[in-house]
Amino acid sequence: VKPWPGLIETYRPYLPVTESTPVVTLLEGNTPLIPAPYISQQVGKGVKVFVKYDGLNPTGSFKDRGMTMAISKAKEDGAKAVICASTGNTSAAAAAYARRAGMRAFVIIPDGYVALGKLAQALLYGAEVIAIDGNFDDALTVVKQMAENYPVTLVNSVNPYRLEGQKTAAFEVVDVLGNAPDWLCIPVGNAGNISAYWMGFCQYHSLGKTSKLPKMMGFQAAGAAPFIGGQPVAKPETLATAIRIGNPANWDKAWGAKDASQGEFNAVTDEEILEAYRILAAHEGVFCEPASAASVAGLLKVKDQVPAESTIVCVLTGNGLKDPDCAIKHSDNQVKSGIKPELSQVAKVMGF
Ligand code: F0G
């Protein structure tokens, strides 16, 4: 067995890197495509559902795929500092890779709307964390201006290298299934990841590595669903803070992917997200963060449209440990506490 060398080495011929690109890697990628038998059964019709568990990347989200590329290219260009706006995961990934490359990492976050695990990561990795009185969209506007006026490289998904790295998730899906799935269900926030997956599938298709292309099914939180209304949302709200975004930067690319694939955008409520989040954990044994569960919530919402016998991949973008507060608050399950350390007491509370 050859050890996994990280996604840049694995997919080097398909990425814009050269011999002189200093590869900054934490051996990201190669995340499991896990069969989801319970969800498959819920959909019925002989459909096979898999989850692409990208929460198993080194910093716990798919952002590592984009960041290994963005930081390697920034280092190649001689950058000393990077900056990003973030709902949390981008900041954790930017911080880890930038610090590993010896750069400063500035992250601008919406004050009070970043999950605890993500904030903890950014701080300990050594990022310089700035919380603004505004939302992600406001933060993105500021960091774009910063990158235009000061010597800091922008590593949000408007940086083209981010999408180049993220497209490798589509390669991995095809490499495992032997073909593209019929549907790819994915949460949509700033709309970089759906665009990146589509790039990856199209590239593999043109190389003859897949004979088909999936329908791209993008799901937004109902309170932050600009693609459903067809216009930016001024005050996005959802408990899935990772996708609490009202004005996606990759608007045109994502619409292009949806249209070219004959896919669809849809919205899922916070309740539907939480239900999928609980199902994933309690029936499949997969703990993702709330925003990630939007892909499964969306699939369950539109399951009547699913073609019989089809293969579906739901992308789980982030690890459940990112947002422990949400898990504790929204689990139906509770700790049975105050029990004496005695056999009879423990047996009784266990129902024996
Ligand atoms: N899922 C998770 C867990 C995310 O963190 C994000 C985006 C998305 C889905 C949506 O992906 O933006 O490419 O459409 N998080 C960004 C961040 C905004 O700052 O971490 P997208």
Does residue 87 line the site of ligand 1, with CB under 6 A? yes
Q: What is the pLDDT of residue 116?
A: 97
What distance lies between CA 271 and its chain's CA centroid?
20
Dihedral through CA 62, CA 64, CA 65, CA 68, nearest 10?
170
Does residue 156 line the site of ligand 1, with CB under 6 A? no
Does residue 173 line the site of ligand 1, with CB under 6 A? no
Most informative mutation of 193, 241, 315 for ligand 1 (most atoms within 8 A of CB): 193
Cβ–Cβ < 8 Å for 247, 193:
no
- Residue whose Cα lies nearest atom 15 of ligand 1: it is 242
Cβ–Cβ < 8 Å for 105, 128:
yes
Distance 239 CA to ligand 1 centre (A): 13
| Integer angstrom CA distances of residue 216 from 46, 180, 198, 219 | 20, 11, 8, 10
Q: Which of 54, 59, 57 is nearest to 93 (CA)?
A: 59
Largest CA distance in the chain: 69
Ligand 1 atom closest to Cα of residue 245: 18
Complete DSSP assignment for 235-263 = S---S-GGG--SS-TTHHHHHHHHHHTT-
Distance 338 CA to ligand 1 centre (A): 40
Neighbouring-strand partners of residue 127? none
Q: What is the pLDDT of residue 190?
A: 98
* Residue 16 buriedness (CB in 10 A; 0-12 / 13-18 / 19+): exposed
Most informative mutation of 52, 61, 241, 315 for ligand 1 (most atoms within 8 A of CB): 61
Residues in the chain: 352
- Residue whose Cα lies nearest atom 3 of ligand 1: it is 318
Does residue 317 line the site of ligand 1, with CB under 6 A? yes
Write out the binding residues for pyridoxal 5'-phosphate: 89, 189-193, 317
Cβ–Cβ < 8 Å for 188, 210:
no
The one-letter code for the residue type at 61 is: S
Does residue 243 line the site of ligand 1, with CB under 6 A? yes
| Residue 56 DSSP one-character state | G
Dihedral through CA 125, CA 131, CA 135, CA 138, nearest 10?
-100
C-alpha to C-alpha distance for 350 and 163, rounded to whole angstroms? 50
Write out the binding residues: 89, 189-193, 317
ipTM of the complex: 0.99
C-alpha to C-alpha distance for 172 and 150, rounded to whole angstroms? 37
The ranges of the chain with pLDDT < 50 are none
Does residue 115 line the site of ligand 1, with CB under 6 A? no
Q: Which of 149, 200, 188, 214 is nearest to 297 (CA)?
A: 188
pTM, whole model, 2 decimals? 0.98
Ligand 1 atom closest to Cα of residue 166: 13
Q: What is the pLDDT of residue 245?
A: 98
C-alpha to C-alpha distance for 191 and 132, rounded to whole angstroms? 22
Complete DSSP assignment for 74-129 = HHHTT-SEEEEE-SSHHHHHHHHHHHHTT-EEEEEEETT-S-HHHHHHHHHHT-EE
Most informative mutation of 54, 84, 118, 190 for ligand 1 (most atoms within 8 A of CB): 190
Distance 287 CA to ligand 1 centre (A): 17
